[in-house]
Structure 1
Amino acid sequence: MENLREADYQLSYDNFIKNSYDLSLKKFINKICFHSIVLEPCVWPNFGLVSHKDSGAHKDMDYNLLIESAKSITPYFYSCFKVGCSTSVSNIEKLFAIKKIGIDAEIDMLNTTKNVNTHKGVIFLLSIVCTSLGISLTNFKVKCTDINIIDLWDFILQEAYNLSKDYVSNEISKIHGYGLSQTYGQWAQSRYKVLGVRGIVTSNFQIVRCGLKIYLDLFNKIKNKELVLGQLRLYFLAYAEDTNIIKRAGIFNAYKLKDLAHKAYAAGGVFTKKGMLLVNMIEDLMNKNKWSAAASGDLIILILFMVSIYESRFINSRKENFSS
């Protein structure tokens, strides 16, 4: 994919959407994923995450590394979409196929970043969602032009839940006690009963559904994507389970942060003076202590992807046979 300059990253997809109709389906899916990933760092507040201006709380990555990481993983999401479009295999076969694709994407990411985990949560979520998008378009002939965005994504996310709930729940049930071979997410689950990204799936994507509704309600009133996405990041900090914060800050400080985020959100967040005082306090606290809100980044990327798929109306304009 093209190496775009910082100035090319704007929080509006308008020009991108207008220019989508001359792309093949493969290029379109890849570009939607790529732009969703690289636009997320442009959303302020960053809460310790890498931005297009600085590295936040991270010494091991910067914006350029995120772009290279995004380039390495985006082709795998179209592969997941094609798995979803296949009519010759069962859902359980699709699930194991995308698990292998996800592992390959992680390997490619780590090779690109020299073993820095930039987008593991994104790989997990977008792999499932892109597969379910393919299933919905192929098996149920869902069209963006036929229903509103909430109903469209309620349908697709339900497919995502149906596809992955049993497998993810089974994986969760296998995690007992503590072990050196565990990932931090597994350790956090064992010790604190915090499910992290797996919990997004087992909850039937409730925080994603709520986040999409908040985004749409705010954007209909304000028409400013930058502010709306900033408020949405604050919402995710307040309500999402974030094992990365627990890892960096400890469970006590993680709950203190969530409490501050709740207060900031209740005070109006990025839209009010009182809310902004609290937002800036959280931002300074997280950067000073090298804490970062990874879950909010993953969820912002997913919301950007969902909105862009719907706004483009692109898939309905194609004559391609999804299941071929």
Structure 2
Amino acid sequence: MNIALRWQSLPGLALDAEQLGHLASLCLKLEVETYPKPGLVSHVDNGAHRDMDAGLLCRSANILTPFFCDLAAAGAEGAGMNRLRAIGVAAERAMLAATSGVNTHRGAIFGLGLLCAAAGYRNAVGIRKSLGRLVSERWGEDILSGPVSLRSHGAVAARRYGAGGARGEAAHGFPSVYDLALPALHAARKLAPHDEEAVRIQTCMTLIADVNDTNLLHRGGSEGLHFAQASASAFLATGGVGSPGWRRRAADIHHAFVARNLSPGGSADLLAMTLFVDRLEV
């Protein structure tokens, strides 16, 4: 069964921990099955990456599935941040072992993992708060006060350029997902009602245009970030996926990112999180 069919075959909103874990993994694979995304790996090419391809990313997503399940189950049991962090560390070790040390999904383990935990908690308690709000309320202080990764390129860039990074995003309830990406995704479905890949591309472009992506800062500094944001903004200003010839323009932007070695990995993670939240929020 292909990724789209597996996505469609999942049941409704109240998924159990195992289903939530599989949903999170599917969202990572749907992000890969999206082209053209500027500078990012897809089923078509490797983007600006020399150390990973679509097959590696999909294998990584499969490796992470049981850990996402564990995070959802831990959330359902009311776990604190220390337990969630321990599961996340184990997930990262398994990822690195499976990829020979390539960081395929460190950011997604963190962001999607917290959303899995929030979904598990919400199902167990039976409340109607958004997943982002639950993450912020239950674990936000611990996220900000917890240990800082010294190895992550994104964390280094966040410190150097003063960007909020993944920690700030999660602690504040994922505003880039709820205030930016979800509205863009819903609007894109009106522009391209029969093309979910186009919807994902429009959502990804919206994220690139507005997020201070620490992966872009790491690869290209402030100049690279500004180039990326301007390119995505120009695509959206001309109608995005609702305008004729949009695929060619999106591919041109993709190739320009590759030429500059730019890859908005933070936006890719946020796209996967947006797909996850979209499936679960009313």
User: SS of the residue aligned with 2:39?
Assistant: coil
After TM superposition, give the deviation of residue 277 of structure 1 in Å. Answer: 6.2
The residue that corresponds to 1:214 in the other structure is: 184
Residue 189 of structure 1 aligns to which amino acid in structure 2?
A
TM-score by length of 1: 0.78
What percent identity do the matched residue pairs reach?
Answer: 26
Aligned residues: 278
The residue that corresponds to 2:203 in the other structure is: 232
In structure 1, distance between residues paired with 2:277 and 2:159: 32
Residue 201 of structure 1 aligns to which amino acid in structure 2?
A
* Structure 2 unmatched runs, 5+: none
The residue that corresponds to 1:62 in the other structure is: 53
Deviation digits for residues 45-87 of structure 1 (CA, Å, limit 9, x no counterpart): 2211111122111111111111111111111111111111115
Give the 5 Å matches for 1:75-224.
75-87=66-78, 94-139=80-125, 141-142=126-127, 155-171=130-146, 181=150, 183-210=152-179, 211-220=181-190, 222-223=192-193, 224=195
Q: 1:222 to 1:183 in 2, by over 3 A?
A: closer
The residue that corresponds to 1:291 in the other structure is: 262
Instruction: Give yes or no for the alignment of 1:10 onto 2:1.
Output: no
Segment drifting more, 75-84 vs 271-280? 271-280
Q: 1:230 to 1:35 in 2, by over 3 A?
A: same
User: SS of the residue aligned with 2:4?
Assistant: coil
* Structure 1 unmatched runs, 5+: 88-92, 143-151, 176-180, 312-324
Q: 1:207 to 1:260 in 2, by over 3 A?
A: same
After TM superposition, give the deviation of residue 281 of structure 1 in Å. Answer: 3.4
Deviation digits for residues 103-124 of structure 1 (CA, Å, limit 9, x no counterpart): 0000000000000000011000
After superposition, the CA RMSD in angstroms is 2.5
Give the 5 Å matches for 1:213-292.
213-220=183-190, 222-223=192-193, 224-273=195-244, 278-292=249-263
Q: For the Cα contact (< 8 Å) 2:191–2:241, is it kept in 1?
A: no
In structure 2, distance between residues paired with 1:281 and 1:71: 31
Q: 1:136 to 1:167 in 2, by over 3 A?
A: same
Q: For the Cα contact (< 8 Å) 2:76–2:124, is it kept in 1?
A: yes
Deviation digits for residues 196-227 of structure 1 (CA, Å, limit 9, x no counterpart): 21231233311100211221233245323121
TM-score by length of 2: 0.88
In structure 2, distance between residues paired with 1:301 and 1:279: 19
Q: For the Cα contact (< 8 Å) 1:51–1:63, is it kept in 2?
A: yes
In structure 2, distance between residues paired with 1:303 and 1:11: 19
Q: 1:185 to 1:205 in 2, by over 3 A?
A: same
